[in-house]
Amino acid sequence: MNKHGHLADFLQARRGQLRPEDVGLRTYGERRRVPGLRREELAMLAGISAPYYTRLEQGQSRNASREVLDAIASALRLDDSERAHLHALAGAPRRGRPAARPRPERVTPAISALLAAIEGTPAIVVGRRSDVLAWNRQGHGLFAGHLDPDSPHGPGLRPNMARLVFLDAHTRDLYTDWRAKARAVVGNLRLAAGRYPDDPLLAALVGELTMRSAEFATMWADHRIVACDVADYEMRHPLVGTLTVTQQTLQSPQGDGPAVVVATAAPGSPSATALTLLTHATAPQAAAQPRHGAETRTTT
């Protein structure tokens, strides 16, 4: 991936989604060849010169200050997540200095201990590419009970949540509002692409999903970032029926390690009862329980 290509695509896409009337500009009824704001209109709103903005949008300028980027973000009406994404895209390394490759992802003993500590609450550990690195029994049962519970332990077999949401019929049917979940997945991949523009496996995943899913291709092209650290989803589970869960993503402050996604329900609610039923339904029938990723594992 090329970070400056992403920056140009992001600016062009978001400029094209703003209409003059959205930002209080009068058009006097003239016809426009393309939808959205013109470059000079966006530059005026941001308080910068049109030639400079054009160079930035075309990837020809690499020295935009934080103040300029904030002005452009305000002109584009970006929210906090989108503003941070814009800064990430603009923060490319200098010419001749290659970007550092992302560090290998590890399920640390601390994360494994966390999974064990919240036993009874569905939880999964996902990497930057949305690969499932580990899950507890309830997390497997809620999100992917149709898959082998041991699949996260094999790097070549690991489930990928983005693939599941867009390409797996079971996962698609889980979400009553599938499009809301799909947009959240695309938003997370967008953020990852901004942080790791030189990750070949991430680029391959985006390319695969673009080729195999027209819906993914459309969502990817609009460059919208949907913050989904906490989101409520109604799920239609084949074992326990319809329930509403709050999915929370727990991430390190640096945002550079695996994330733990937990699903909870309001205490005393029918959905909480459904999660309890799921715990019993997925209880091991034999004495041995599935592994929870107790040892440190690495994936590149």
CATH code, 50: 1.10.260.40
> Are 112 and 81 members of one domain?
no
294 falls in which pLDDT band (50, 70, 90)? very low
- The predicted pLDDT at position 139 comes to 95
> Are 141 and 210 members of one domain?
yes
- The predicted pLDDT at position 31 comes to 64
Q: Phi-psi category of 112—alpha, beta or left, where left has phi over 0 and alpha has psi -120 to 50?
A: alpha
- The predicted pLDDT at position 227 comes to 66
Domain-terminating residue out of 41, 64, 90: 90
Domain assignment present for 98: no
> Are 201 and 138 members of one domain?
yes
Domain assignment present for 118: yes
- The predicted pLDDT at position 29 comes to 56
Mean pLDDT of the chain: 81
The pLDDT > 70 percentage for the chain reads: 81
> Are 244 and 123 members of one domain?
yes
Q: What is the C-alpha separation between 142 and 159, in angstroms, rounded?
A: 14
Quote the domain boundaries for residue 292: 105-299
Domain assignment present for 25: yes
Cβ atoms of 250 and 262 closer than 8 Å: yes
CATH code, 141: 3.30.450.180
Coil, strand or helix at 5: helix
- The predicted pLDDT at position 270 comes to 95
Domain assignment present for 26: yes
- The predicted pLDDT at position 95 comes to 43
| pLDDT tens-digit map of 218-245 | 998 887 776 668 899 999 999 999 999 9
- How many independent structural domains does the chain possess? 2
> Are 147 and 275 members of one domain?
yes
| pLDDT tens-digit map of 8-43 | 777 887 887 777 777 666 665 566 666 778 888 878
Domain assignment present for 71: yes
Domain assignment present for 119: yes
The pLDDT > 90 percentage for the chain reads: 36
> Are 130 and 250 members of one domain?
yes
- The predicted pLDDT at position 3 comes to 47
> Are 205 and 136 members of one domain?
yes
> Are 83 and 176 members of one domain?
no
> Are 84 and 110 members of one domain?
no
Coil, strand or helix at 13: helix
Domain-terminating residue out of 63, 90, 117: 90
Its pTM stands at 0.71
- The predicted pLDDT at position 196 comes to 82
> Are 185 and 290 members of one domain?
yes
| pLDDT tens-digit map of 150-199 | 988 876 788 999 999 999 999 999 999 999 999 999 988 888 887 887 78
DSSP-assigned letters across all residues of 124-176: EEE-TT-BEEEE-HHHHHHHHTTS-TTGGGSTTT--BHHHHHHH-HHHHHHBT
- The predicted pLDDT at position 99 comes to 52
| pLDDT tens-digit map of 39-55 | 888 788 877 888 888 88
- The predicted pLDDT at position 17 comes to 76
| pLDDT tens-digit map of 70-109 | 888 888 888 777 787 787 777 744 444 455 566 677 888 8
